[in-house]
Amino acid sequence: MFVNQLDIKEFRGIKKCSEPIPLTGFTVLIGRNNSGKSAILEALSFLPHPMSRVHFRDRDKIGFVKDLHSGKPLVYGYSGTAEITFKMSAIKLDEEEWHIKLSSYGKTEGIEFYYQKDSTVDASNWATLLGIEKNKLENMVVFLPNDTEIIKELDTKLMRMKDQIMKLGAHVSVAKHINECVDDDFTEILLESHQLSLRKELPDGNVFYIQLNDLGDGIKKAIKIMLLLEVIKPDLVLIDDFEASAHPGLIGMLLKWLSKKKWQVVLSTHSIDVLYQLLEVRPEDLSILQFRKTEDDIQIHETLTLDDLEALIDANQDPRLLVDALGVG
C-alpha cells in the first residue's frame, strides 16, 4: 500500500476533517454531492510531490487540479493556508508523514512540500531522496477526474506509449477484458495513424476496424484508462465518479481488473451498482468510506468493511443513504 492516511485542513470545500481519513488497499468513497469526495482524490493526486507533472497535460499537479475548477486558489474560502498531511507506508523515510501547504494571500500564492519540519523539498530533490528519476515521479500516482476532455486528451499520450503497449500485449489483453462486458468480439486495439481503433471479428469471419472514438463513452473511457494503467503501473490509482457512463457489467469487469493488480485504488461513486459489484468482486483489503459534511464544512467519515456492506445490502439497506446519520446521533 502506498498511502494509509490523509488529513485535510482548509482545502477546497473542506474546513477540516473530524478525524484523519484511513485508506486501505481498495478504498471506495461514497457520500452526497459536495461532501468532499473529489477534494480527497485531488489532495491524494498531489502525491508524490505537488510540483511533479501529470500525464494528460503539460502541467504540474497543483495546476492540473486548478484547471479542473475555476483556476482560483485551492485554499478553503480562496484565502489562507491549506494543509494536507499524508501518512505513507510504501516509502520509508525518517518521517512517515508528508506535508503539503498551499497558501494564498491576495495575489501571492505559495506551495510547500516537506516531510521533516521546516525543510521544504523540491521535486528534483524529492526524486533523488526517493531514489528515482524525476520524470518517474509522475508514474507513481494517476488521477482520473470525471472529465471527458481529459479522456480525449489521453489519445496523444497513448499514441506516444504505442511501443510499450504493444510490447506488453496490453492491446490484446485489454480487448479481451472488454469482450467480457460487450456483445462484440474485439481481438485487439490498434494504435495507428494517430488514432485508436478496435479490430472486430464478425461471426462470418469478416473483420471491421472501428474507431475507438465512435464507441460509447463508457467503453472508450475504460479502454483508455486500462491501456494507460497497464503501461504506467502506478502505485496509486485515483478515479472520480467511477461509474460514469458505465453499465453494471462494465463496472464489474473494471473492478475485477483493478482489484487484481498490485496498485492501491481509491475511487468515488454515487452508484449502488458499484456497491453491488463490490460484493461480487470482493477486492482484498476493501473499505467503503462514507462521508458527510456539516454546515460548517467539517468532514465526518465512517468506515464500512466488506462484511458491513454485505450485512447492509442483505438487509436491503442502502449505504449511500446512511451517510445522513453520521455525526448527528
Partner 1 sequence: MQIRTPASLWMLWELGDAVRLVNELKGNAADHVVLTGDGKADAEVLKALCIRYNGKGIIWYPKPPMKGRRISGLGVFKAIKIYPGKYHLYNFLVLVDREHFIERMMDRRRDRKKRDEKGMIEEYLTNVVQIKLSPLKDISPGSAWRASGALGPHKLRIYPVIMGKKKAMEEEFASLLILERDKLKLTTRD
Is there binding between residue 329 and partner 1 (CB under 8 A)? yes
Q: How many residues does the chain have?
A: 329
Residues between 253 and 272 with contacts to partner 1, criterion CB under 8 A: 272
Q: Which stretch binds partner 1 (CB under 8 A): 47-55, 71-79, 103-111, 318-326?
A: 318-326
Is there binding between residue 274 and partner 1 (CB under 8 A)? no
Residue found by looking up cell 456497491 in the block: 275
Residue found by looking up cell 489483453 in the block: 173
* Nearest residue (CB) to partner 1, 158 versus 289: 289
Q: How far apart are CA 175 and CA 185, in angstroms?
A: 9
- Candidates 144, 198, 231, 326: give the one binding partner 1 (CB under 8 A): 326
Q: To which H or E segment does residue 153 belong? A: helix 148-160
Q: How far apart are CA 227 and CA 174, in angstroms?
A: 7
- Candidates 79, 156, 213, 294: give the one binding partner 1 (CB under 8 A): 294
Is there binding between residue 114 and partner 1 (CB under 8 A)? no
Q: What is the grid cell recorded at 50?
A: 505537488
Is there binding between residue 156 and partner 1 (CB under 8 A)? no
Is there binding between residue 244 and partner 1 (CB under 8 A)? no
**What type of residue sits at position 110?**
G
- Name which of 115, 17, 15 is nearest 7 in CA terms: 17
Is there binding between residue 304 and partner 1 (CB under 8 A)? yes
Q: Which residues of 211-236 are buried (b: 16+ CB within 10 A; e: fewer)?
A: ebeebeebbbbbbbbbbbbbbbebbb
- Name which of 230, 224, 259 is nearest 170 in CA terms: 230
Q: Which stretch binds partner 1 (CB under 8 A): 72-80, 97-105, 198-206, 312-320?
A: 312-320
Quote the least distance from Cβ 128 to partner 1, whole Å: 44
Q: What is the grid cell recorded at 117?
A: 519540519
Is there binding between residue 325 and partner 1 (CB under 8 A)? yes
DSSP letters spanning 220-269: HHHHHHHHHHHHH--SEEEESSTTTT--HHHHHHHHHHHHTSSSEEEEE-
Is there binding between residue 130 and partner 1 (CB under 8 A)? no
Q: At what angle do helices 248-259 and 272-281 cross, to 10 degrees?
A: 50
Is there binding between residue 295 and partner 1 (CB under 8 A)? yes
Q: Residues 70-99 vs partner 1: string with x where CB under 8 A? A: ------------------------------
Is there binding between residue 118 and partner 1 (CB under 8 A)? no
Is there binding between residue 296 and partner 1 (CB under 8 A)? no
Q: How far apart are CA 67 and CA 168, in angstroms?
A: 33
Is there binding between residue 33 and partner 1 (CB under 8 A)? no
Is there binding between residue 297 and partner 1 (CB under 8 A)? no
Strands 286-293 and 26-31: parallel
Q: Which stretch binds partner 1 (CB under 8 A): 45-53, 104-112, 224-232, 314-322?
A: 314-322
- Candidates 66, 153, 302, 306: give the one binding partner 1 (CB under 8 A): 302
Is there binding between residue 298 and partner 1 (CB under 8 A)? no
Residue found by looking up cell 510504501 in the block: 90
Residues that bind partner 1 (CB under 8 A): 272, 276, 279, 294-295, 302, 304, 308, 311-318, 321-322, 324-326, 328-329
